[in-house]
Chains A and B, each alone.
Chain A
Amino acid sequence: MLSEQVVTDVLWAALSTGGDFAEIFMEDTFNTQIRMLDGAVEEAVSGRDYGVGIRIFQGLRSVYAYTNDTSRESLMKAAREAAAALPGAPAGKTVVLARLAVEKFNPVRLEPRQVTHLDKVEVMKQAHSAAAGFHEQISQVAIVYTDVDQSVFIANSEGLMVDDRRVRTRLGINAVATKGAEKQSAFRGPGRHMGFELFEKIDVGEIARDAAHSAVTMVNADYAPSGKYPVIIDNEFGGVIFHEACGHSLEATSVAKGVSEFSGKLGERIASELVTAVDDGSIPNAWGSQNIDDEGTKTRRNVLIENGILKGYMIDKLNARRMGMEPTGNARRQSYKFAPTSRMTNTFICAGDSTRDEIIANTEYALYAKRMGGGSVNPATGEFNFAVSEGYIVRGGKIEEPVRGATLIGRGSEILQQIDMVASNLATGQGMCGSVSGSIPADVGQPTIRVKEITVGGRKGAN
């Protein structure tokens, strides 16, 4: 890593024009990715990402530069060139660095780099056999194992100097079921901010069979009826609805510039009073957790919505200036190749009082979205869309036939108001969230909820 003298010199060079804040982010990351198709390892890549990002603020302006060449000479050049993009003369601030010790609450027991490739392949084979042996209609199983060991060092002109290490392990299971010329696939991707001990905590075989079950159910299902009707969204990855429909619109990235539908609405009712929602990057070993964010701010639990009232946003340093509020530990980036901005960590709707069984029993007709695929949102208008990867029709209080091909569309603000039942079975699922500062690991989550009405799109006409 860099010496204190080099860090001080580079920060000083970065402030050589009109900048009022400068930051260095250095990263050294080891990656492993192994792909298996139908039980045979097809591809294995290991790599090392290494580089430095330099960021300078002048009021609300931001300049970012990065390079892989971490020699003093190259960093000084990058800092001076970045500074040249800002007008003005230096304020002559001195930088006094003080090392900050951070509490490490994401323990790693089995470091991935100490685990042999063969052990990793063994876990993949377990997943493969469980899925492939589940049913005769399973025609293909693809498994991807990934581990990432990221060491970061962050220093800024306020004197902060801190490092952190993030170790993440994940298994992706994709099962394809075939019936005649038709194919349907189902994905499960359990992961945690931890090492290889992940596989002592999860039952790989059960998760793989569950993926296979989804694929087989869907390949035998008819298309979902389209139209506007009630939807019950199950717990765990179902939380992607909140992530897409509301979470992105609560990131300072869009709130600060007044382009989010939730800008300027703190203290107002934006959701049904059954809804309390939280973003919490400080849950030990959760997929989206970090000891500190990518600006060096300690992560924490941020209440976004409490009993339907908007309580807070997710804020990074630059947008904190624009908003006149404090950073919330949500500044994140894929790597040194991205300037950080406010992003979600582990985001979920909190548990309510009902049970899933009660919700189903109390519903005359609905789409039961047991598994959600991904989705996206336009934060300006709140318009979202996402795919239901495993759905069923609820009729007369009972789960009936499976249906496929449904897409849910609507506006975040409207859906939040229309949640009329919330169960107590809060659970989370893992995803990779893509936005301006790259692709980052994020947990989504919720208990089973019921929404009075959502537009359901699909190939089949209305009932």
Chain B
Amino acid sequence: MNFQEFKERVFAAGRAAGLGDMEIYVTRSQRLRIRVFEAEVDDYAASLERGIGFRARFGGKVGYAYVEALDEEAVEYLVQGAKANAQIIESSDDVEFYAGSESYPQVLSYNDSLAAVSAEERVSFCLDLEKAAFALDERVAKVPYALMGYGDTEVYIANTLGLEQGFTSNGAFSYISALVRDNGQVKTGSKLHYGSDWSTFCAESLAREAVNEAVSLLGASSVPSGDYRILLRNDVAREILSTFAPVFSAESVQKGLSLLQGKLGQSIANSRVTLIDDPLLKNGAASAPFDGEGVAARTKKVIESGRLVTYLHNLKTAKKDGVQSTGNASRPSFKSPVGISPTNFFIEPGQAAYGDLVKTLDDGLIIISVQGTHSGANPVSGDFSLGAYGYLVKNGSIARPVEQITIAGNFFKLLETVEEIGSDLEFSGPDFGGNVGSPSLIISNLAVAGM
């Protein structure tokens, strides 16, 4: 059964059951993951999945249901499920259905040549990744992870107001983690790469980054507790930005869960900071012509030269604030109700290369990994206290590796104390919280707990 045909059947059954506005949101995806261990493919996973999310208005309220099986029961299950769920909704928020935008942007989100890479090529890439890691340094004892993944997804949305849109995207990622042993000490280094251009998947250079990092951490020790000037490497900076991204959601603001409430138009960050949400980014992992409600995607600055320009809106929050939706309605999956999420969300890069930032730091700590963002960070207060490691910098050059420390601070304070922004913007790859990117950042000071 194709989606259009299924849609007609669901809408007909819904009308018969007395439902008002109705919408289906369908995804169909193919995924492949290949992992190599000790020169053998030890894990090969392939999947073909689809899912149908359905929402409908009944008695003025909107309920949700979803199915994965497209059998005879599915239509009835969706209609009755959404109806029963609508009947218990008490919130007075108006849920909007959308008839469609006048036009939709062209977005490059699918790369044919990436899809055409053969299974053999993908396997040999993973084998090379592991081999390269072992060849780089004799202290490499294990390569716990040498893997790659590929996925493509087709999204289709249609409702009873006449909206009907779809698009297809694809992407690939690679992850390597190398474990080095020296004098009984164990360290790991890893590298994640995401992209839609297969020519950027260079096994040798990815392995080198992971191995170099692991080796560079041998002999690490803690530092005395105190306040330090900090260089957050690009991957750490984006992880912190991603953790606190919900504070920019209008839903968090309206619910009183964001300290950015009432701050529109005000300065909330150092004037060097510009934060962009760009769903039209060429081959971006979160690029799409429309959002989870069918609203046409558009690029916007969220922070411009330190000043908060807008929150991220969907139709519901936009109506509440009397503004236009920013096209940030999200459906992390067909199972999820409409929420809000950034798309390709990044701090605009500056001029300084990473090496120059190390010199500019002069005395301080470079943080190359943080742990515990899901538990040690509070998006409501902005407070964070995270396990971390990296390097001690003295007189503008790396003195030694550092481990067993925590860095603590506050996200809002951090935004105000960004002193320098690097040119090395890198993205996280697709995630439920959007595709977040950042260059490396120098922060005036964070509290470090160590010895």
Report which A residues bind B (CB closer than 8 A).
34, 37, 39-51, 60-70, 78, 81-82, 85, 117-118, 121, 139-140, 176, 178, 181-185, 226-228, 254, 257-259, 261, 337, 339, 373-376, 378, 380-381, 383-387, 405-407, 409-410, 455-462
In whole angstroms, how far apart are the Cα atoms of A58 and B257 in the complex? 51
With contacts A61-B41, A181-B259 taken as known, whether A81 is within 8 angstroms of B46 at the C-beta atoms is yes
Q: Which residue of B lies closest to A125 (CB)?
A: B90
Given A34-B88, A41-B88, the answer on whether A227 and B372 have CB atoms closer than 8 Å is no
Q: Of A66, A384, A456, which is within 8 A of B49 by CB?
A: A66
> When the two chains form the complex, which single residue of B64, B386, B406 contacts A226, counting CB atoms closer than 8 Å?
B406
Q: What are the residues of chain B within 8 A of A68 when measuring CB–CB?
A: 48-51, 68-70
- Asked if B225 contacts A405 (CB within 8 A), the reply is no
Q: Pick the interface stretch among B162-170, B236-244, B341-349, B377-385.
A: B377-385
Asked if B449 and A457 make an inter-chain contact with CB atoms under 8 angstroms apart, the answer reads yes
Asked if A376 and B372 sit within 8 Å, CB to CB, the answer is yes
Collect the chain B residues with CB atoms within 8 Å of residue A455's CB: 222, 404-406, 449-450
Q: Is the interface of A mostly helix, strand, loop or mixed?
A: strand
B398 within 8 A of A: no
Interface centre among B37, B49, B77, B372 (most CB of A within 10 A): B372
CB within 8 Å of A: which of B36-85? Answer: 37, 40-51, 63-70, 74, 77, 81, 84-85
Complex: how many Å from CA A410 to CA B91? 45
Decide: A459 near B88, CB < 8 A? Known: A375-B372, A376-B374, A409-B404.
no
A461 touching B43, Cβ below 8 Å: no
A43 and B337 in contact, given A81-B46, A385-B376 (Cβ under 8 angstroms): yes
Question: Lowest 10 CB-CB distances: which A-B pairs, in order?
Answer: A457-B406, A385-B387, A226-B449, A374-B375, A44-B85, A457-B449, A47-B66, A40-B90, A407-B385, A50-B69
Q: B257: which A residues are within 8 A, CB to CB?
A: 140, 176, 183
Contact B186 A226 (CB under 8 A): no
Contact across chains for A378 and B371 when beta carbons are under 8 A apart: yes
B409 sits at the interface (CB 8 A): yes
Within 8 Å CB of B66, what residues of A? 45, 47-48
Residue B136 lies at the interface, judged by CB distance under 8 Å to chain A: no
B225 touches A66 (CB 8 A): no
Report yes or no: B68 in contact with A383, Cβ–Cβ below 8 A: no
Q: Are A387 and B88 in contact (CB under 8 A)?
A: no
Q: Does B142 contact A (CB under 8 A)?
A: yes
| Given A37-B255, A387-B372, A61 and B387 contact (CB-CB distance below 8 Å) | no
**Distance in angstroms between the alpha carbons of A383 and B119 in the assembled complex:** 36
Instruction: Give which listed residue, A139, A383, A459, contacts B371 with CB less than 8 A.
Output: A383
Task: Return B391 CB to nearest CB of chain A, in Å.
Answer: 16
**Given A381-B187, A405-B385, A457-B405, do A376 and B49 touch, yes or no (CB 8 Å)?**
no
Residue pair A457, B387 in contact (C-beta under 8 Å) = yes
Are B93 and A42 touching (Cβ within 8 A)? yes
Known contacts: A63-B44, A387-B376. The answer to whether A409 contacts B406 by CB under 8 A is yes
CB B4 to nearest CB in A, in angstroms, measures 18
Residue pair B43, A64 in contact (C-beta under 8 Å): yes
Give the distance in Å from the alpha carbon of A81 to the alpha carbon of B64 in the complex. Answer: 35
User: What 0/1 readout, one digit per residue, does chain B (417-451) give for beta carbons within 8 Å of chain A?
Assistant: 00000000000000000000000000000010111
Q: A376-B375, A457-B449 are in contact. Are A41 and B47 (CB under 8 A)?
A: no
The residue that A62 contacts in the complex, of B43, B84, B222, B405, with Cβ under 8 A, is B43
User: A373 — which chain B residues lie within 8 A by C-beta?
Assistant: 375-376
Which among B50, B91, B225, B385 has the greatest number of chain A C-beta atoms within 10 A? B385
Chain A residues whose C-beta falls within 8 Å of the C-beta of B202 in the assembled complex:
none
**Is the Cβ of A459 less than 8 Å from the Cβ of B383?**
yes
The answer to whether B37 and A459 have CB atoms under 8 Å apart is no
Contact of A85 among B41, B63, B187, B335 (CB under 8 A): B41
Complex formed: what's the CA distance from A382 to B337 in Å? Answer: 38
Q: In the complex, what distance in Å separates the CA atom of A82 from the CA atom of B48?
A: 12
B144 sits at the interface (CB 8 A):
yes
Contacts of A254 in B (CB 8 A): 144
The answer to whether the Cβ of B89 comes within 8 Å of any Cβ in the partner chain is yes
**Chain A neighbourhood of B355, CB < 8 A:** none
Q: Are A45 and B77 in contact (CB under 8 A)?
A: no
Choose from B45, B93, B405 the contact partner of A65 (Cβ within 8 Å). Answer: B45
The reply on B101 being an interface residue by CB < 8 A is no
Q: Which of A37, A50, A182 is close to B68, meaning CB atoms less than 8 Å apart?
A: A50
Sample of 10 more A-B contacts, CB < 8 Å, known A60-B42, A383-B404: A45-B65, A46-B65, A46-B81, A61-B43, A85-B41, A183-B380, A259-B144, A259-B179, A380-B144, A380-B186
Count A/B pairs, Cβ under 8 Å: 240
Question: Given known contacts A49-B68, A457-B408, is B144 in contact with A41 (CB within 8 Å)?
Answer: no
- Can you sample 13 A-B contacts with CB below 8 Å? A40-B92, A44-B89, A60-B42, A62-B43, A68-B50, A118-B88, A139-B256, A176-B380, A258-B142, A387-B375, A387-B385, A407-B385, A459-B410
B372 & A459 in contact (Cβ 8 Å cutoff)? no
Distance in angstroms between the alpha carbons of A69 and B67 in the assembled complex: 12
B188 at the binding interface (Cβ < 8 Å):
yes
Q: How far is the CA of A384 from the CA of B386 in the complex (A)?
A: 10
| Contact pick for B372, options A70, A181, A184, A386, CB 8 Å | A386
On chain A, the residues within 8 Å of B324 by CB distance are none
A60 and B40 CA atoms in complex are apart in Å by 9
* CB pair B374 A461 closer than 8 Å: no
Give the distance to chain A from B39, nearest Cβ to Cβ, in Å: 11
Report A-chain residues with C-beta under 8 Å of the C-beta of B395. none
Whether A407 lies near B408 (C-beta < 8 A) is yes
Instruction: Tell me whether A458 and B255 are in contact (CB under 8 A).
Output: no
Q: Which A residues are CB-close (under 8 A) to B44?
A: 61-64, 82, 85
Take A42-B93, A376-B374 as given contacts and tell me if A65 and B47 are in contact as well, using a CB distance cutoff of 8 Å. Answer: yes
CA distance A380 to B217 in the complex (A): 14
Contact yes or no, B89 A42, CB < 8 A: yes
Q: Provide the residues of chain A in CB contact with B381, threshold 8 Å.
A: 182-184
The 8 Å CB contact of B46, one of A46, A82, A184, A380, is A82
- Would B42 and A61 count as touching, CB distance under 8 A? yes
Q: Is B124 an interface residue (CB 8 A)?
A: no
Give the shortest distance, in Å, between A88 (CB) and chain B (any CB).
13
Residues in chain A near residue B410, CB distance under 8 A:
459
A-contact bits for B302-346, CB 8 A (1 contact / 0 none): 000000000000000000000000000000000111000000000
B45, B48, B337: the one contacting A64 at CB < 8 Å is B45
CA A431 to CA B85, docked complex, whole Å? 26
Contact B447 A459 (CB under 8 A): yes
Q: Considering only CB atoms, which chain A residue lies closest to B93 in the complex?
A: A42
Q: Which residues of B contact A375 (CB under 8 A)?
A: 372, 375-376
Cross-chain contact B93 with A461 (CB below 8 angstroms): no
Q: Tell me the smallest distance from the CB of B28 to a CB of chain A, in Å.
A: 10
Please state if B67 and A48 are interface contacts (CB–CB under 8 Å).
yes
> In the complex, A407→B37 CA distance in Å?
34
A45→B64 contact, CB < 8 A: yes
Q: Which residue of B lies closest to A258 (CB)?
A: B142
Find chain A residues with CB under 8 A from B188 CB. 378, 380-381
* The one of B77, B385, B404, B405 that contacts A459, using a Cβ cutoff of 8 Å: B385
Inter-chain contact A380/B179, CB cutoff 8 Å: yes
Are A44 and B63 in contact (CB-based, < 8 A)? Answer: yes
The complex places the Cα of A339 from the Cα of B31 at a distance, in Å, of 14
Residues of B within 8 A of A378 (CB): 188, 371
Residue of B nearest to A184 (CB): B381
Contact A117 B84 (CB under 8 A): yes
A63 nearest CB across to chain B (Å): 5
Are B48 and A67 in contact, with the CB atoms below 8 A?
yes
CB contact between B376 and one of A42, A48, A407, A461 (< 8 Å): that residue:
A407
For the complex formed, measure the closest distance between the CB of B91 and the CB atoms of chain A, giving whole angstroms. 4
- Judge if B200 is at the interface, Cβ distance under 8 Å: no
